[in-house]
Each structure stands twice: as C-alpha cells, then as structure tokens.
Structure 1
C-alpha cells in the first residue's frame, strides 16, 4: 500500500498494478449516484486531494461551493498536455445527464456571478453558455486523491486525446478509485472503469456512435445502483446496446431486494436484484472488498393491450 501526506488529507494507492484494476472483477452498478448535473471548470492545477483544499481563484471556489450546495457535481478539468487555459475568464462546461435528451454546453465567464446555475437546475441552458454537439470524455487523474488514478489514468488520457483531440480532459475525483482508470462520457454520464487504453478508445468510439460497450461499463450516473444493475442485466440479456435503448421505469425495494421495471428495446422486463460483496485480489487501500449486485430474476412482461374504443 502506498500512502503520502498532504495538508490534512491522506493519499491512497494500490501496490499491486495487476490487482484491483484489471477489469476481472464485476464493476457494473457502480456509477456515481449523485452525478446528475455537472459543472466542469478548467484549472491546470495543482489539485489538492479535495476541491475545497485546492489553491484556486476565489471565483472558482465560489462556483464550486454554489454548485455543491445545489446538488450539481463540480469537477476540475485540464488538458492532457497540460496546456494552460487560453484567454481571460473562467472556462466552464455544464451538462444535464437526466434531461430527456442529455446535453452539454460551454462558455467563458468573467466571474462566478456570470454563470446561472439556477438555470441549469431548472434544466435550462445558462445564457453564458452555448450547446456543443460533440461528446466530452473525462479521465480521472486525481493523484492527490488516489495514486492509482494518476498512475493508470494519465497515460490513458494522453493516448485517448491523441485520437480525440480537444474532446478529452483530465479531471478530478469522479468516484470509485478502486475502478481506476475511470472514464466518464458526457453528456449522458456513462461511467467506465478499470480501463486500458484500448478499452477506452473502444468505449469512446461506441459512445460517439450512440452505443455502450458492456465490458468494463460501470453504469449510468444519477440513478440508484440497483437500477443500474437492472439496466445492465437487461442489456446483457437482450443485446440492446444503444445509449437510450434501456431505461429503468420504476422500482420498489423490500429490504435488500429491489424489483425494477426496465424498458429494453421494444419490450419491458421485471428485474429483481440483491447486493453481494466480493473480496478483491489485492486487498489494498483502493479496496478490500467491492459491493455489486446479483440477478435474482429477469422476466419479460406481457405487452399491455388496450381495448379498441367502440364508435357510436
């Protein structure tokens, strides 16, 4: 286990390069539940272990605090080649992963007061931003949070940026250090983990084509983990890989067991899942165990038949 000290914080790391981060353990249903709305702020660094400890301009700290208070997920981002931000002002991106048609926009603001986060909360494009049509890819390289994120994430971010210039960003902690290297695809908030460079390129290409790859797919952020598991099992059962082709419609829980109704392609399914815990092969600071979900039942529901009205 590797640890290092920073002011008031501890840095975790994994001493086993071939242990937790190979994709051999199940990682589905582990996307960050609270990541529904996003605020990305370009800052070349350095980054402390937690955003509130970073040496940042006061306006950036204000944006981070305001976003966190509203339930918007703030992330610091920087270019993989570590180019400093160009021009004046604060380069920001905002995204809504829960909209019927998820979107991402960007802009440059002179101060924190120039970015209307209340509009983002309402699902409205802030006036200071413009929509962008190309997806954005975030690779966690937050070394001060976990050494493995930098050890594995940095070369991945750089290789992916060579294929997709200007669409790939290093980012601060996205959740799930044990799944490094982590890749997030915006605006839909799709999480991948334990990524190799080849796997990241394949996942990015699939996303740009409107599809997911189930290998190393952590799930869709912003929804509870049992629902992520249910969506995963429906995709695996049906082969439906389009980004919007599978969605949890409703759920109910009884203790640890969760029943989810999932739309998958042109059918609906009743999926029952329950949590289970597995030991990791390395047992380090990254993770002694992981919690995932077991499929209890998956049944295709009969289509709802509507009576034809009688005309009189």
Structure 2
C-alpha cells in the first residue's frame, strides 16, 4: 500500500520538505483577541495591568487570548478593537467591538464564549479575521518572516489582517490563522498566503501548507487532511471528523457529505526533514488505510 505522507501536501521550511500537517493547536476552540500596540511580553499571561488580568481570566475560563495589532503605524490610545469567537464545529462565529476603556471587558461572559455561546458583547462579524504571528519576543523567526507577510497581506486584504502574538508552532513560521474557523497554515510566503486567504474567502481550504484546524486532536487533523486529499473535498465545513480512537495507530471516522471513511493514521518521526544539516526531528503522520465504509479500500 503506498504511503500518503504529510510532505505530499505540506511543503515546509528551507527545502520544501518539512511536514506540518496535524500541527494546529489542539486546545483553542474559543478566542479573545485584544488590540494592543506593544511591546508584547514573551508570554501574554505576563502582560501587566487590567488587560493582563483579562488575559489570565480568559485562560482560566478556557478561552485562548491573543494580542493583536495593525502593521505599520499603530493606535497607541483608545478606542481599541476586541473580538471574541468560537471556532469548533459547524456553528462558528465572531463578535467585534471597539473599547474606549479596558474596563468594558468586565462585561464579557467568558464562560459563555468558552462554551460556544454568543455573549452579545459586540456586533456579529460577517468578515473573517486573519492573524499573522509576528511575536518576535517569543521567537525571532516569527518577526523575521511574519512581519513582512503581514504587510503583504494587509496591502491586499486591508483591515482583515492583524499581527498577533504566539499561535503555536514557531518552527512553521510564517504562520497564518483564519478565523472564525481556526484554520492554520504554516511556512508561508506571500504567494502561498494569498492563495490560502483567497480560498478561505470562498469557503475553502488549500492543502498546500495547511497545518490543520484548531481544537482537534493532531491525529484527527491528519485524518481529515488525508480524506480531503483523496476525495478532493476542499470546503471548510465539508469534512467532519466523527470519531477518533486508538493510540498509534489511530483510527478515525471522517464524514464528507453523505459518505463516511475509516482512516488509519500513524504518528512517526521525520528525521532531518530539512536536509542533512538539520538537527531537528519532527513528528508527523502517515496514512495506513483509507476505506469508504461498506466499500473496498481506496488506498
């Protein structure tokens, strides 16, 4: 049986062979984005003052906080933009609001956000939010590669684009997160990023450099990726991981419209994924079997 490995659809850093599928953060299902011009601390929970209190309260409630800012000249005084959102499942949403005073965040029902319930904190956003990690204090590569990418994307997509703090996976910089669905891309240059955003605006994903969807276990992200690749299903909400079992290999059931597929994926280590000079070993996934349920195996 031929192996369909992550490098087939996710070229990576340096040589185009660094695997990145199944690497979106597994813990983020709900989000709090707070405009903050910087400087940003190494970790957002170390932020001082009232905003730091809000960040820590969000983390305690199970909501992922991100500091965001515009590229170039940034607002140093209020009003500041805030978004809250939920990215799990089919019922995703974003609410946005400008704050004249950080104390207004005391009104935000973080428990509701964590559970996926709209808190009515702001206006429902009908446009996506595009986050590019530029958190240089966390990892210099994020600033070196992310900042120019944020400028390029801003030139094309304007106010949809924000710089942001650490999103996870510094080794895959430059990183892009598309909200409200929590779609992660890594190792992006301008051409790949524009292609990813254009697809997202049309309700689709691009498999090239797709890291996965936030909030799903890594093996589930990999299984979804392999099914998309096999059947050509690119709609953001077209594919759903129904179940995941096992501990390597993993067995997932993935639904695509009216069809269900059983996917067996195995975690493995890609040694020297960037060439013999690379000292880094990276965990990745291979597919062992992909079967249309009640039919013959497809691979």
TM-score by length of 2: 0.88
Which residue of the partner structure matches residue 71 of structure 1?
A: 62
Work out the CA distance in 1 between the residues paired with 2:73 and 2:108: 25
Question: Alpha-carbon deviation of 1:70?
Answer: 1.1
Question: Distance between the aligned counterparts of 1:278 and 1:61, measured in 2?
Answer: 38
> Which of the two has higher C-alpha Rg?
1
Distance in 2, matches of 1:65 and 1:284, equals: 40
Deviation at 1:203, TM superposition (A): 0.3
Output one character per residue of 1:39-87: Cα deviation in whole Å (capped at 9) or x when no partner.
1010000112111333x4x221111011100111110000012421563
Instruction: Pick one of 53, 58, 66 that aligns with 2:46.
Output: 53
Separation in 2 of the partners of 1:87 and 1:269? 50
1:128 aligned residue = 121
- What's the counterpart of residue 84 of structure 2? 94
Offset of residue 31 of structure 1: 0.4
**1:138 counterpart residue number:** 131
Provide the residue aligned with 1:258 in structure 2.
Answer: 250
User: Which residue is 1:15 aligned to?
Assistant: none
Name 1:104's counterpart in structure 2.
94
User: Structure 2 matches for 1:147-158, cutoff 5 A?
Assistant: 147-158=140-151
Asked whether the 8 Å contact 1:140–1:174 carries over to 2, the reply is yes
Aligned-residue offset at 1:204: 0.4
- Kept in 1: contact 2:130–2:160 (CA 8 A): yes
Q: How far off its partner does 1:121 sit?
A: 2.3
Task: Find the residue that maps to 1:148 and give its secondary structure.
Answer: helix
2:286 to 279, 294, 310: 294
1:228 matches 2:204 = no
CA 1:187–1:260 in structure 2 vs 1: closer, same or farther (change >3 Å)?
same
1:169 is the counterpart of 2:159: no
**When the two structures are aligned, how many residues end up with a matched partner?**
280
Give the 3 Å change call, closer, same or farther, for CA 167–120 of structure 1 in structure 2.
Answer: same
Task: Rate the CA distance shift 1:116–1:85 in 2: closer, same or farther, 3 A.
Answer: farther
Deviation >4 Å, runs of 4+: 282-285
CA–CA distance in 2 between the matches of 1:70 and 1:282? Answer: 42
Can you give the 5+ residue segments of structure 1 that lack an aligned partner in the other structure?
Answer: 1-18, 304-312
Mapped contact 2:172–2:187 kept (Cα < 8 A):
yes
CA distance in 2, matches of 1:95, 1:21: 34
Question: Considering only aligned residues, what root-mean-square deviation do their CA atoms show, in Å?
Answer: 2.0
Instruction: Work out whether residues 139 and 170 of structure 2, in 8 Å CA contact, stay in contact via their aligned partners in 1.
Output: yes
What whole-Å deviation, never above 9, does each CA across 1:67-117 have from its counterpart, x for those lacking one?
A: 1001111100000124215634x5310110015321111113431312221
Contact residue 219 and residue 232 of structure 1 kept, 8 A? yes
SS in 2 for 1:166: helix
How far apart, in 2, do the equivalents of 1:65 and 1:167 lie? 26
User: CA 1:189–1:284 in structure 2 vs 1: closer, same or farther (change >3 Å)?
Assistant: farther
Q: Tell me the TM-score normalized by structure 1.
A: 0.85
Q: Which has the higher helix share?
A: 2
